[in-house]
Amino acid sequence: MFEAALMRGDGLDGLRVLLVALSLAASIGYLAVESRPPSSLRTGLKTAAIGLWVPLPLLALPDAAALPLALLAFAFFLSSAGDFFLALKGDARNFTRGLLAFLAAHLFYLAIMVPLASRPEGLVANAASLVTGAGALALYFWLRPNLGKNQLPVGVYLVTILFMALAALAIPAAQPWLGLGAVLFVISDGVIAADKFGRPIPFRGPIVWTTYYGGQALMALSLMALLR
């Protein structure tokens, strides 16, 4: 998957590998400072971890499918913007801004994946689809009494990310990594929601970041390999 996603023999392979390495370094750096109070360093590392992925789909143009790759770049950009807002803290509106940015990112992911989706193939993909769907619905109804005015936005977000994950699991050519990445993304957001609206989750920060970054990386590499 790594080779198919990044190695195209067009003279830009080294740049692609460098961007991925810098992204991984930023991710590890953020994990090291995640528990600290908000700072420029902390915010910058969190934003850069996915932000460094933005050029990757664009480097494949014009030799590959232009529209899906452009949509993928926008999905990375919006995810990075969501990370930026969530890193700021202090202002409750930043959570809403981050939520909207990630909602838009999931819609871009959906726009890429729905045309490629058919149905889950195999026991693992079907079981993962069932468990992910049931888990997302159970989480929403558990949190619902505590959501207050956030019932609608959280509900819309949950449905959107659920459809994104189900679409990812329904692309047989990209399994298992695309499906695993999407499920990790759902787990990350589920932990955030449970911690914010339910009860405190031990080791929330490391759990959220490792599942989120790992999920995004697997989705990114899978889709870039698929779209080449």
| Domain positions in the chain | 2-226
For residue 174, is pLDDT > 90? Answer: no
pLDDT of residue 64: 62
Give tens-digit pLDDT for 81-106.
Answer: 999 999 997 777 898 899 999 999 99
Mean pLDDT computed over 11-19: 92
Q: What gap in Å lies between CA 110 and CA 54, rounded to an integer? A: 17
Evaluate if residue 125 carries a pLDDT over 90: no
| pTM of this structure | 0.93
